Protein backbone atom coordinates (compact mmCIF):
# COMPACT_ATOMS: atom_id res chain seq x y z
CA UNK A 1 0.00 0.00 0.00
CA UNK A 2 1.04 3.60 -0.52
CA UNK A 3 3.00 5.03 2.37
CA UNK A 4 4.75 8.37 2.88
CA UNK A 5 6.99 8.84 5.91
CA UNK A 6 8.33 12.32 6.59
CA UNK A 7 11.35 12.85 8.81
CA UNK A 8 14.08 15.34 9.61
CA UNK A 9 12.13 17.84 11.69
CA UNK A 10 13.41 19.27 14.93
CA UNK A 11 14.32 22.45 16.75
CA UNK A 12 16.57 24.82 14.83
CA UNK A 13 17.76 28.38 15.42
CA UNK A 14 16.65 31.24 13.18
CA UNK A 15 18.87 31.60 10.13
CA UNK A 16 19.96 27.97 10.17
CA UNK A 17 19.13 25.16 7.74
CA UNK A 18 17.29 21.86 7.88
CA UNK A 19 16.54 19.16 5.34
CA UNK A 20 13.33 17.18 5.47
CA UNK A 21 12.96 13.78 3.85
CA UNK A 22 9.87 11.90 2.71
CA UNK A 23 10.35 8.19 2.09
CA UNK A 24 7.81 6.81 -0.37
CA UNK A 25 6.78 3.17 -0.65
CA UNK A 26 4.08 1.24 -2.44
CA UNK A 27 4.46 3.26 -5.65
CA UNK A 28 7.16 4.53 -8.00
CA UNK A 29 8.06 8.07 -7.01
CA UNK A 30 9.26 9.01 -10.51
CA UNK A 31 5.72 8.56 -11.87
CA UNK A 32 4.12 11.16 -9.61
CA UNK A 33 4.30 14.81 -8.70
CA UNK A 34 4.93 15.53 -5.04
CA UNK A 35 3.96 18.40 -2.75
CA UNK A 36 5.09 19.78 0.57
CA UNK A 37 2.34 21.38 2.67
CA UNK A 38 2.74 22.86 6.15
CA UNK A 39 0.53 23.69 9.10
CA UNK A 40 1.56 26.14 11.78
CA UNK A 41 0.37 25.27 15.32
CA UNK A 42 -3.38 25.81 15.57
CA UNK A 43 -3.60 27.16 12.00
CA UNK A 44 -4.80 25.98 8.60
CA UNK A 45 -2.99 24.25 5.78
CA UNK A 46 -0.47 26.20 3.69
CA UNK A 47 0.86 24.92 0.37
CA UNK A 48 4.67 25.15 0.23
CA UNK A 49 6.10 23.54 -2.91
CA UNK A 50 5.45 21.18 -5.81
CA UNK A 51 7.85 19.00 -7.75
CA UNK A 52 5.91 18.16 -10.89
CA UNK A 53 6.50 19.07 -14.52
CA UNK A 54 8.59 21.85 -12.98
CA UNK A 55 9.29 23.06 -9.47
CA UNK A 56 7.00 25.64 -7.89
CA UNK A 57 7.14 27.46 -4.57
CA UNK A 58 4.98 29.61 -2.33
CA UNK A 59 6.17 33.22 -2.27
CA UNK A 60 6.82 32.88 1.47
CA UNK A 61 9.58 30.30 0.88
CA UNK A 62 10.85 31.14 -2.62
CA UNK A 63 14.61 31.56 -2.65
CA UNK A 64 14.99 29.87 0.75
CA UNK A 65 13.48 26.40 0.24
CA UNK A 66 14.33 23.84 -2.46
CA UNK A 67 12.24 20.79 -3.31
CA UNK A 68 14.10 17.86 -4.82
CA UNK A 69 13.88 14.11 -5.14
CA UNK A 70 16.07 11.05 -5.53
CA UNK A 71 14.01 8.61 -7.57
CA UNK A 72 16.58 5.84 -7.05
CA UNK A 73 15.88 6.07 -3.30
CA UNK A 74 12.16 6.79 -3.74
CA UNK A 75 12.67 9.83 -1.52
CA UNK A 76 11.51 13.45 -1.69
CA UNK A 77 13.37 16.25 0.06
CA UNK A 78 12.79 19.79 1.23
CA UNK A 79 15.96 21.78 1.84
CA UNK A 80 15.08 24.72 4.09
CA UNK A 81 17.61 27.53 4.45
CA UNK A 82 17.51 30.87 6.29
CA UNK A 83 14.77 29.57 8.56
CA UNK A 84 12.48 32.03 10.32
CA UNK A 85 10.20 31.74 13.33
CA UNK A 86 7.20 31.85 10.97
CA UNK A 87 8.41 28.62 9.32
CA UNK A 88 7.51 26.75 12.51
CA UNK A 89 4.97 24.12 11.46
CA UNK A 90 4.22 20.49 10.85
CA UNK A 91 5.43 19.70 7.33
CA UNK A 92 3.53 17.12 5.28
CA UNK A 93 4.60 15.47 2.06
CA UNK A 94 1.81 14.45 -0.27
CA UNK A 95 1.44 12.63 -3.58
CA UNK A 96 -0.07 14.37 -6.60
CA UNK A 97 -2.08 12.38 -9.12
CA UNK A 98 -2.72 13.66 -12.64
CA UNK A 99 -5.35 12.17 -14.91
CA UNK A 100 -6.69 13.37 -18.25
CA UNK A 101 -9.41 15.30 -16.39
CA UNK A 102 -8.26 15.85 -12.82
CA UNK A 103 -5.35 16.89 -10.63
CA UNK A 104 -5.47 16.03 -6.94
CA UNK A 105 -3.49 14.92 -3.90
CA UNK A 106 -4.50 11.45 -2.81
CA UNK A 107 -1.98 10.39 -0.15
CA UNK A 108 -0.41 12.32 2.71
CA UNK A 109 2.38 11.43 5.11
CA UNK A 110 1.85 11.99 8.81
CA UNK A 111 4.11 15.04 9.01
CA UNK A 112 7.26 16.14 10.77
CA UNK A 113 7.43 19.10 13.15
CA UNK A 114 9.89 21.92 12.52
CA UNK A 115 10.36 24.45 15.32
CA UNK A 116 12.43 27.55 14.61
CA UNK A 117 13.45 29.13 17.88
CA UNK A 118 16.49 30.58 19.57
CA UNK B 1 -2.62 34.01 -6.87
CA UNK B 2 -6.06 32.44 -6.57
CA UNK B 3 -7.75 33.05 -3.21
CA UNK B 4 -10.09 30.39 -1.82
CA UNK B 5 -12.65 31.86 0.57
CA UNK B 6 -14.15 29.11 2.69
CA UNK B 7 -17.22 29.47 4.89
CA UNK B 8 -18.25 29.11 7.57
CA UNK B 9 -15.03 29.11 9.60
CA UNK B 10 -16.79 27.10 12.30
CA UNK B 11 -20.02 25.20 12.47
CA UNK B 12 -21.89 23.54 15.30
CA UNK B 13 -24.19 20.65 14.34
CA UNK B 14 -25.73 17.46 15.65
CA UNK B 15 -25.42 13.84 14.64
CA UNK B 16 -27.81 13.24 11.76
CA UNK B 17 -27.76 16.85 10.50
CA UNK B 18 -27.10 17.82 6.91
CA UNK B 19 -24.33 20.39 6.55
CA UNK B 20 -22.88 22.42 3.72
CA UNK B 21 -19.44 24.00 3.53
CA UNK B 22 -18.63 26.35 0.69
CA UNK B 23 -15.52 27.61 -1.08
CA UNK B 24 -15.47 30.54 -3.44
CA UNK B 25 -12.48 31.05 -5.74
CA UNK B 26 -11.27 34.52 -6.68
CA UNK B 27 -11.48 33.51 -10.36
CA UNK B 28 -13.02 30.71 -12.36
CA UNK B 29 -11.10 27.47 -11.87
CA UNK B 30 -13.16 24.87 -13.70
CA UNK B 31 -13.52 21.79 -11.49
CA UNK B 32 -9.97 21.78 -10.11
CA UNK B 33 -11.01 21.59 -6.46
CA UNK B 34 -10.48 18.96 -3.79
CA UNK B 35 -11.93 18.65 -0.30
CA UNK B 36 -10.15 17.15 2.73
CA UNK B 37 -10.96 16.39 6.30
CA UNK B 38 -8.47 16.49 9.14
CA UNK B 39 -8.63 15.21 12.68
CA UNK B 40 -6.41 16.92 15.32
CA UNK B 41 -2.81 15.72 15.14
CA UNK B 42 -3.41 13.74 11.96
CA UNK B 43 -2.69 14.28 8.27
CA UNK B 44 -5.51 15.49 6.01
CA UNK B 45 -7.52 12.86 4.16
CA UNK B 46 -8.91 13.29 0.65
CA UNK B 47 -12.72 13.22 0.41
CA UNK B 48 -13.57 14.72 -2.98
CA UNK B 49 -11.52 15.50 -6.10
CA UNK B 50 -12.46 17.21 -9.34
CA UNK B 51 -15.15 19.12 -7.38
CA UNK B 52 -17.61 16.22 -7.31
CA UNK B 53 -15.79 12.89 -7.45
CA UNK B 54 -15.85 10.75 -4.32
CA UNK B 55 -12.45 9.32 -3.41
CA UNK B 56 -12.39 5.54 -3.12
CA UNK B 57 -13.32 4.35 0.35
CA UNK B 58 -15.03 7.59 1.41
CA UNK B 59 -18.62 7.15 2.68
CA UNK B 60 -21.38 8.18 0.29
CA UNK B 61 -22.81 10.68 2.77
CA UNK B 62 -20.06 13.02 1.52
CA UNK B 63 -20.65 14.78 -1.79
CA UNK B 64 -19.22 17.72 -3.68
CA UNK B 65 -20.74 20.07 -6.20
CA UNK B 66 -19.99 23.21 -8.16
CA UNK B 67 -17.79 24.41 -10.97
CA UNK B 68 -16.34 27.70 -12.09
CA UNK B 69 -15.85 29.68 -8.88
CA UNK B 70 -18.34 28.29 -6.34
CA UNK B 71 -18.02 24.89 -4.69
CA UNK B 72 -19.87 23.05 -1.93
CA UNK B 73 -19.08 20.07 0.26
CA UNK B 74 -22.20 18.41 1.67
CA UNK B 75 -22.42 15.86 4.44
CA UNK B 76 -25.90 14.39 4.21
CA UNK B 77 -26.19 12.89 7.70
CA UNK B 78 -23.45 13.69 10.20
CA UNK B 79 -21.83 10.81 12.01
CA UNK B 80 -19.79 11.14 15.22
CA UNK B 81 -16.52 10.56 13.34
CA UNK B 82 -17.23 13.49 10.99
CA UNK B 83 -16.53 16.14 13.60
CA UNK B 84 -13.20 17.51 12.35
CA UNK B 85 -11.72 20.32 10.26
CA UNK B 86 -12.48 20.53 6.54
CA UNK B 87 -10.43 22.26 3.83
CA UNK B 88 -10.82 22.97 0.13
CA UNK B 89 -7.81 23.29 -2.22
CA UNK B 90 -7.55 24.47 -5.81
CA UNK B 91 -5.30 22.88 -8.44
CA UNK B 92 -6.04 25.28 -11.28
CA UNK B 93 -2.71 27.04 -10.87
CA UNK B 94 0.21 27.29 -8.45
CA UNK B 95 0.31 28.23 -5.66
CA UNK B 96 -2.25 25.49 -4.99
CA UNK B 97 -4.02 27.50 -2.31
CA UNK B 98 -6.25 26.16 0.45
CA UNK B 99 -9.35 27.63 1.99
CA UNK B 100 -9.01 28.84 5.57
CA UNK B 101 -10.74 25.74 6.92
CA UNK B 102 -14.04 24.92 8.65
CA UNK B 103 -14.09 23.46 12.13
CA UNK B 104 -17.14 21.24 12.53
CA UNK B 105 -18.10 20.76 16.16
CA UNK B 106 -20.74 18.79 18.00
CA UNK B 107 -23.71 20.85 19.18
User: Per-residue pLDDT tens for A12-63?
Assistant: 999 999 999 999 999 999 999 999 999 999 999 999 999 998 999 999 999 9
Residue in chain B nearest A55 by alpha carbon: B94
Beta carbons of A91 and A83 less than 8 angstroms apart: no
Cα–Cα–Cα angle for A102, B57, A97, nearest 5°?
25
Q: CB-CB: which of B38, B91, B100 is closest to A103?
A: B91
Over chain B (107 residues), the average pLDDT of each successive run of 10 is: 97 96 98 97 97 97 97 96 97 96 94
The burial of B25, by beta-carbon neighbours within 10 Å (0-12 exposed, 13-18 middle, 19 or more buried), is given as: buried
pLDDT at res. B71 = 98
Give residues with Cβ within 8 angstroms of A21, minimum separation 6.
A6, A7, A8, A75, A76, A77
pLDDT at res. A102 = 86
pLDDT at res. B107 = 86
**Chain A: closest CA distance from residue B22 (Å):** 16
pLDDT at res. A100 = 83
Beta carbons of B63 and B72 less than 8 angstroms apart: no
Report pLDDT digits (tens) over A73-111.
Answer: 999 999 999 999 999 999 999 999 988 888 899 999 999
* Phi, then psi, of B60 in degrees rounded to 5: -70, -5
Amino acid sequence: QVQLVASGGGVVQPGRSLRLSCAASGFTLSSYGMHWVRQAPGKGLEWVALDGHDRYYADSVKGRFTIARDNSKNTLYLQMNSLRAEDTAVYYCARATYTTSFIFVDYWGEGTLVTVSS
Amino acid sequence: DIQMTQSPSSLSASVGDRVNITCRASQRIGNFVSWYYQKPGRAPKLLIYGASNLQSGVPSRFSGSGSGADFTLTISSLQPEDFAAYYCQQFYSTPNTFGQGTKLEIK
